[in-house]
Structures are given as structure tokens and as C-alpha cells.
Structure 1
Amino acid sequence: MPTYPSSGAGTARKAIAARLRELRLEAGLKGHELAARCGWHKSKVSRLENAITPPSDDDIRAWCAACGTDNHTADLIAASRTADSAYVEWRRLQRTGLRRLQESRMPLYERTRLFRSYASHVVPGLFQTPAYASALLSAIGRFHDASGDVVEAVAARMARSRVLHNGGHRFTLVLEESVLRYQLGTPEAMTSQLGHLLSVMSLPAVSLGVIPFAARERDLWTLEAFNVFDDQRVHVELLSAQVTISAPSEIALYLRAFAKLREIAVYGTEARGLVTSAIDALR
């Protein structure tokens, strides 16, 4: 039986295996019947359904075709390809330091043309000031026992934010008003961060909206923070791990949620008023 680098990866593999079994049962096929349709030895079906052998892309295509469920092929292939990296604990990502983690994401940000971000707790990294980033990364480092290179990590995060000023990129950001009110660092650091948001709002490539506390007729609850990179992948940051979503149907779900969140956000003068009010409260 293969060993997986984390329990999250093993869980992901088992979920894929369980879904394959469900498709077979829903199609009314016995294991040997599906094997015959695919031209396999009957033991292969058992190995795939028990997550003993990870399926190849061709295995998934053949399985779905045999079950008459080709509409599930793309999602299952995407889930299988990313099973080992879809759920990665922060202790693994941070074991070589916070700086390397920041630098490792640079290529993804540089090749992304449309960056969409929803923030419900803290200002997203691309829009942070050095003082705010330092306060946040210091807290993360202390909590996860990975605080040795915060200064270098902050510098790497600031270097990554240069994509805001490069051509060919667009950034759509939606913040809950609570993000403006959660103080990280000193009052001066928070005031500077909020002032930076006001500056960022004037950039032609940036659309920044704020969902007010008093937003009426809100038909979508506050969600976990997430980033969407073009239409190719979604990153969700949990307390324990980073989750990478690449299944087309799941990406579509996050894009739908993002569209709804944008609808209840305010922009321009109203958004600036909420930021300014938060600054006034600090003073």
C-alpha cells in the first residue's frame, strides 16, 4: 500500500476511491462487470476502490465511461492529480521557514492574470504593509513554532506585492468590514495599513469593495477567506492547513460565491468612508 506524505493526502485518496465506488454502484454494476467493460483484471477494481492503487487519468476516464458518468470525469481527474497537495498542513509548508513559503508562491502570482480575493479576517498578503505583515507573520510564527525568519518573510511578501504595479494583471478584492476593525500590531501600524488600502483603491488594476456590517438582505453568510487564481485554482487557508481546490465544479462554486459577495459590497466613496471610519476609530 502506498504511503502518503500527510493524513490529508491519504484522506483525499480515500475520498476519490469512495466516489469511484459510488459511481459503480449507482450504475448497477458489480466489480467484475466494470472490470470487463474496461478490459481490466477484476482485482484492479478492488485495488482502486480501496485506495490501494491511485487511479491514473485513463483509469478514471475508463471508469466513468463504463458507468455512463462522463460528466464526473474532469472533477475526479483534477482531484486525483492534486490529492497529494490539496490539503497540506502548515507545519509541512513552514518547515523550511516562512521566507521560503512566501517565495514559493511568487510564480503563481506572476502568471495569474485575474486575481480574486475574499477576506473575512485579515487583509490579504498582496495588499499588506510591512508593519501589518510583520505583526501577522509574527503571530503565525509564534503559533506554529516557525517564527525564526519573520523579517526575511516580510521582505519576500513585499517583493511579491510588486505584481500590483505590473501590467497584465487585474485584482478584485472583497473585504468584510470586520477586516478593517481587527487590529493587528500597534494602532500606528493598523492606521498605516488602512491608509495603504485607500491608496490601493486608486490603482487602475484594482477593484476593492467592502461588505458593511449593516449590509441588508445578505443572502450569503460570512465565509472562510479564499483566493482565486484565474479560473484554475482556489486557495483556502485553514488554521491547520492550506487547501488547494482544482476540481472545476468546486472552483465554479467559489466563483459563484465570490460574485454574490461582490454584489453586497460597496465601492468608491462608500468603501472609502468605511475605511476612513475605521481609521478615525483608531485615533
Structure 2
Amino acid sequence: MPTSPSSGVQEIRKSIAARLREIRLDAGLTGRDLAFHCGWHPAKSSRIENVKALPSDADIRAWCTACGAESEADDLIAISRNARSMYMEWRRLQRTGLRRLQESYVPLFERTRLFRVYSSHVISGLLQTPGYATALLSAITAFRRIPNDVEAAVNARMARSHVICEGNHRFAILLEECVLRHRIAGADAMAEQLGHLLAVMSLPSVSLGIIPFTAERHMWVIEPFMVFGDAEAGIELLSADVTLTAPNDTHLYLRAFSELQRLAVYGTQARRLIGAATAALK
């Protein structure tokens, strides 16, 4: 079973803590000794070694200096910064609203040639209509209690989706059938959204598969994710946006995508599922 995306970050944090402990032990210092040299409470050393607290850059440098291992500091700081950048809490990314977040993805979207997208909860942002996006981003704004810039955020989301029709991009997109049925928006907006899916299916750059309720699952429903080319994966959690670039991590999501593809239906069968979801709106 694949590990959760945040577990990769946790493993990095554990490795940093373990290395700091080794450095302390090699220096012949106790946790209390280290705290004295660093000028902090002994509990802080224990919390760092037990992965209860992530050390700051200054903490790592002070730790290494106290242990006579200054040469270790730069590498550990770089690893620690990478762990922090992998796991970005939504409250930080969305603190000024949603528009800037939508715009921040544009360079990545424009340089990516092959998108692999798996959506288990909502229609992928790449395929959203203005009505659906407005309803979804309004719900996110209310839930997060962030500044309301939904109109501007929707416009930015629609603008970034130009990659669907322009440029040398290809899209392999998988939706769980439940995504078609979730009433994210009102009946009219949902009908428009489902109709848009049918239209997008005709684009030569898009392969849209639907995983039916009735699929005999050898791969369970997992968190939504997008793989950009072969080098980077983005995973959306309730609490954070996780970026994975380590080859083992991206390979794991590429493998999961391949397994999920085997469950999907395409063409006429996919259109039937979209049509049935549309009919259920009446």
C-alpha cells in the first residue's frame, strides 16, 4: 500500500533528527550539555531528536557548532529546507485569498508537456467551468476563513486552463464516478460542467477516463494528485499541498496512476456515465 504523501516529509524529518543525535553522541555530549552550549532549554534538544519539533536553520547551525561539526550544518540545513518546501500548509498558501495561488501554477502548467491527473473528490481544476469553479472556491474560502477574492480566483483558474487547448501539452485524466455525482454546484452549473467534460473528451490532446462505481478494484480510492511530466508530483491534502520530486516518490504515483488507468472506461462507456450523472440532476 502506498504511504501517505506527508509520510515522505516525516521520513526526512526523522533522518535529520537521527543525524543530529549521532552528531551529539559523537561529540560525547548529553542532551543537557548540548542545551547549555546552545543556550536553550534541555527539553528543546529532546523535542528535536524525537521529531516533536523541526529545527530552524539557526538551531541546526548552533547544534553542529556546539558539537564541533560545523561542516555538517550546510547539508542538514538544505535537507531541512527541502522538507519544509515539500509540505506547504494551505493556510499559508491561501492567507491572502485564492487568486495568487491559481496564478502561481501558471509557469509549471506552461512548461509541462504531459499531465497525469487523478481526481477522487472534485472535477480537476483543468476541466472546471466558471460556475463549478465559483461554487467550489466559494466553499473553500468559507471553510478556510480567508479573504474572499473568488471572482478573481475563478478568472485566474480559467486563464491557466488555456493549456488544454493551446501549446504542445497532453493530458491523461482520471475521474472517479462519484466526482460526477457530487453536487458541488447547483443543478444548472453541474449540468454545464458535465457537458463541458463531454466537449473536452473530443480534444485530441485529452484522454479522459472514468472509474465506475462497479469497477472491481485492485487499486483503492486515494488522495487526488497530479504528476507533471515524470519529475514532479503534486498531492492535495485537506491541510496542505505536497510537492514530491524524489524519484522514488514520483515513481510511486506514476505506478498508482497506471493501476488506476486499468480500472477506467473511456469513449462511449465514459460518455454513458457522464450522461447518467446529468440525467440524475433532473
Tell me which interval the TM-score lies in, with the shorter structure as reference length: 0.7 to 0.9
Deviation for aligned residue 1:96: 2.2
Q: Is the 8 A contact 2:135 2:185 kept in 1?
A: yes
**Runs of 5+ in structure 1 lacking a partner?**
1-7, 25-29, 33-45, 64-76
**What is the TM-score normalised by the length of structure 1?**
0.76
Deviation for aligned residue 1:244: 1.1
Deviates more, 1:171-180 or 1:141-150: 141-150
Percent of pairs identical after alignment?
53
Corresponding residue number in structure 1 for 2:41: none
Deviation for aligned residue 1:15: 2.5
Structure 1 counterpart SS, 2:270: helix
Structure 2 counterpart SS, 1:282: coil
Q: Is the 8 A contact 1:138 1:147 kept in 2?
A: no
Corresponding residue number in structure 2 for 1:165: 165
Structure 2 Cα separation of the partners of residues 214 and 12 of structure 1? 36
Structure 2 Cα separation of the partners of residues 252 and 200 of structure 1? 28
The C-alpha deviation readout for 1:53-85, integer Å capped at 9, x for no partner, is 389xx969x99xxxxxxxxxxxxx8x6563121
Deviation for aligned residue 1:167: 2.4
Deviates more, 1:142-151 or 1:130-139: 142-151
Corresponding residue number in structure 1 for 2:82: 82
Look up the equivalent residue of 1:139 and give its one-letter code. Answer: A
Structure 2 counterpart SS, 1:85: helix
Superposed counterparts of 1:83-102, under 5 Å: 83-102=83-102
Structure 2 counterpart SS, 1:209: strand
Corresponding residue number in structure 2 for 1:67: none
Look up the equivalent residue of 1:53 and give its one-letter code. Answer: I
Q: For the structure 1 residues 12 and 90, does the alpha-carbon distance in structure 2 shift closer, same or farther, using more than 3 Å as the test? A: farther
Deviation for aligned residue 1:31: 4.1
Look up the equivalent residue of 1:202 and give its one-letter code. Answer: S
Structure 2 Cα separation of the partners of residues 209 and 19 of structure 1? 44
Q: Is the 8 A contact 1:116 1:227 kept in 2?
A: yes
Structure 2 counterpart SS, 1:141: helix
2:165 is the alignment partner of 1:135? no
Superposed counterparts of 1:52-63, under 5 Å: 52-53=59-60
Corresponding residue number in structure 2 for 1:186: 186
Corresponding residue number in structure 2 for 1:253: 252
Corresponding residue number in structure 1 for 2:239: 240
Corresponding residue number in structure 2 for 1:268: 267
Corresponding residue number in structure 1 for 2:126: 126
**Aligned Cα root-mean-square deviation (Å):** 3.1
Corresponding residue number in structure 2 for 1:68: none
**What is the TM-score normalised by the length of structure 2?**
0.77
Structure 2 Cα separation of the partners of residues 123 and 21 of structure 1? 44
Look up the equivalent residue of 2:270 and give its one-letter code. Answer: A
Alignment length, in residue pairs?
A: 241
The C-alpha deviation readout for 1:161-182, integer Å capped at 9, x for no partner, is 0010112111110000000000
Corresponding residue number in structure 2 for 1:3: none
The C-alpha deviation readout for 1:126-184, integer Å capped at 9, x for no partner, is 10000000000000000001241100000000000001011211111000000000011
Structure 1 Cα separation of the partners of residues 232 and 13 of structure 2? 22
Q: Is the 8 A contact 2:96 2:147 kept in 1?
A: no
